[in-house]
Amino acid sequence: MSDFSRDELKALAEEQIPPCISIYMQAEPRATLRQDNALRFKALLQQAEERLASMNVDNKDIKSMLAPGWSLVDDIGFWQAPSEGYAFFFSASPDAFRFYSDNSRAIQFEEMVIIGKSFYIQPLLPLLTGDGQYYVLALSKHHVGLLKGTRDTIQPVPIPGVPENINEALGEEVPESEIQGRPQNMSGGETTGVFSSYDREGYEKDRTMRFFRAVNQGIHKILAGQNVPLIIAGTQNLHPIYREANTYVNLLDEGIEHDADLLPAQELHTRSWAIVEPYFRQAREQAAERYHISAARGQASSKLEDVVPAAHYSRVESLFLAEGKHVYGSFDPQDNRIDLHGDQGPDSSDLIDEAAAQTVLNGGTVYVVPQDQMPDPQGPISAVFRY
């Protein structure tokens, strides 16, 4: 699901005009059963219609909101694309409809229809923070590629503005033979017969550095605003040069020292995941440790009434959510008041999900873990505060 990003989350948040409908479904990627995916989606749309009607939403509004989804049911081309799952979003905003196709087994969508005053985004959170995605920058002088990886997949992504190779970045410069043959000393317009020695190593390093600075400039723009690790893949001699040119703060110290042009995608994935998985695990463990230290100082909490306002006010540094837990209600930022509701509805939000969305939008990190791995195993939410 390479098209879901922090910017997309922000766009969803801006289109949340209740009622907001979030539909998640698993998919059968085999060609013979792809039509079944369309039928399952049709059943979920019908379920959404029935639930909206039970909430006294006008039938005309129901049809209008879900119309983009119904148009996909008979779209053969849409269902032919292999996928592990789908996420669909609809609301009363005319520009709200969005869908994301998941091609990674790293995320297993449960089939669900959630209706509330905001979109339900918790299943997508591993793609943004925690142990979700990472990038591999495959480097050689002849080719540059960027790949996005998860636990189970790795795929190339477009890199507009990044030069394809060193000649595209720098053009054809002075040929080596001409450099080698230039006289060093001139006297009265005549050569002395002393020729300069050609520093091939220095020349090539300088040329590579200028190339990598151009690459870094483009990569930095692509990854701007993201908090995901980047791994270099390339021959050993290229690593220190690119690291000197790099300005992306999440470039990992360890890289893949091998000619990236010769590595199959599966091998590249295996090697990169071995590097990044301990990084994800360590970050999560350190955040849990910070929770216990901060809780003793009053700078962490597992109380919903503390965490939800803090997330809205950009105070949450890291947030832990228990998988599959829901608490429905509403939060009024003006009165700083939380009201709990018994179930979802047009005037309700999943407050746990709302805290997660606000944390991500405000630059915090979210970890979705099993209940027994929560810093406070008794509650569905735990947060470390910035102040």
pLDDT value at position 153? 78
Tell if the pTM clears 0.75, that is, is over it: no
CATH number, domain containing residue 159: 3.30.420
Same domain, 158 and 113: no
Same domain, 151 and 271: yes
| Domain annotation covers residue 49 | yes
Q: Enter the DSSP assignment of 57.
A: -
CATH number, domain containing residue 59: 3.30.960.10
Q: How far apart are CA 349 and CA 330, in angstroms?
A: 6
Same domain, 40 and 73: yes
| Domain annotation covers residue 287 | no
Same domain, 266 and 373: no
| Domain annotation covers residue 121 | yes
Same domain, 271 and 353: no
Print the domain residue range for 237: 134-172+204-279
| Cβ pair 6, 361 in contact under 8 A | yes
Residue type at 75? D
- Domain boundary, last residue among 62, 92, 127: 127
- Going edge to edge, which strands form the sheet with 316-322? 300-301, 381-385, 316-322, 365-369
| Domain annotation covers residue 187 | no
Same domain, 222 and 330: no
Same domain, 122 and 164: no
| Domain annotation covers residue 214 | yes
User: What is the percent of the chain where pLDDT is above 90?
Assistant: 56
Average of per-residue pLDDT across 290-318: 96
At 353, is the pLDDT very low, low, confident or very high (cuts 50, 70, 90)? very high
Q: Report the number of distinct structural domains present in the chain.
A: 3
Same domain, 256 and 307: no
The mean of the pLDDT values for the chain is 87
